[in-house]
Amino acid sequence: MRILVAEDETIIRLDLKTTLEEAGFDVCAEARNGEEAIELARTERPDLAILDVKMPKLDGIEAARRILAERPIPIVMLTAFDQEELVSRAVEAGIFGYLVKPFRQADLLPAIHAARARHAELEALREEAESLAEALETRKVVERAKGLLMEREGLSEQEAFARLRRVSQSSNRSLRVVAEAVLATFPEG
């Protein structure tokens, strides 16, 4: 797994890099501020990012928000502060893990694994939602096409659907594509 580390304190950044590499991870990029983190996330395309909350130029939470807007990846925040307001902002930004410094390898690795698992769950839910939305949209188009065939051709609902299905199978096109072609051929209204 390729990891981006963003930490403005050099000693902590090097310690974090060493800890991650000893655990078998590839630290593909190191940033000293939020703006660098965004740019490196864009160019290096890491699998996960570990960002310090308080960094120069742009804080870690805002950097995370911008990274996630471009390419959703699991992000773990590191901070010396455990203020409720920071945690709330991190959660709103879509952060998957939060660690308070000083951290140990025993804390870091479970946070990484939990962030990856939560991210995978969210991605599966997004894919399912997209699939359901696509199925609903297909159903609407097919229903409209059936209605037009019933109206224009005097077919029953069952006959209209059978015709759409038959054309779909014989043309090796999806039912939605055939329904959209019917709608284009017989404009509604």
pLDDT of 69 over the 80 cut: yes
pLDDT number for residue 108: 84
Place 158 in a pLDDT band, splitting at 50, 70 and 90.
very high
pLDDT of 76 over the 80 cut: yes
pLDDT of 41 over the 90 cut: yes
Percentage of the chain lying above the pLDDT 90 cut: 48
67 neighbors 37 (Cβ within 8 angstroms): yes
The C-alpha atoms of residue 64 and residue 90 are separated, in whole angstroms, by 8
Domains (range + CATH), the chain:
2-103 (3.40.50.2300), 128-185 (1.10.10.10)
pLDDT of 43 over the 90 cut: yes
pTM, two decimals, is 0.67
The C-alpha atoms of residue 64 and residue 4 are separated, in whole angstroms, by 11
The C-alpha atoms of residue 62 and residue 90 are separated, in whole angstroms, by 9
- For 101, phi then psi, to 5°, come to -75, 150
Token readout for 93 is: 């930004």
Higher pLDDT, 189 or 143: 143
Q: Which phi-psi region, left, alpha or beta, contains residue 94 (left: φ > 0; alpha: ψ -120 to 50)? A: left
pLDDT of 37 over the 90 cut: yes
pLDDT of 82 over the 70 cut: no
